[in-house]
Amino acid sequence: MKKAMILMALGVLSLIGFAFAQLPPPPGSPMRNDPHRPVDQISGGLGVTADQFRACFNNVTPAQKGSLPDVNQKHANKQVLLSCLQKSNPSITNDSLDTVMDRYRPGGRAAQ
pLDDT of 68 reads: 80
The arithmetic mean of pLDDT across residues 20-25, rounded, is 50
Of the two residues 64 and 75, the one the predictor is more confident about is 75
pLDDT of 7 reads: 53
pLDDT of 25 reads: 52
Count of beta carbons in the 10 Å neighbourhood of residue 53: 25
**Residues 21, 32: Cα–Cα separation, whole Å:** 12
Q: Do residues 57 and 65 touch, judged by C-beta distance below 8 A?
A: no
Count of beta carbons in the 10 Å neighbourhood of residue 30: 12
Q: Which helix (H) or strand (E) holds 40?
A: helix 39-46
**Residues 79, 105: Cα–Cα separation, whole Å:** 18
Grade residue 86 by pLDDT with cuts at 50, 70 and 90.
Answer: very high
Grade residue 91 by pLDDT with cuts at 50, 70 and 90.
Answer: very high
pLDDT of 42 reads: 93
Q: Do residues 4 and 10 touch, judged by C-beta distance below 8 A?
A: no
For the chain, what are the domain ranges? Answer: 29-111
The SS3 of residue 16 is helix
pLDDT above 50: residue 18: no
Of the two residues 109 and 69, the one the predictor is more confident about is 69
**Range in 6-20, 68-82, 83-97 the model is least confident about:** 6-20
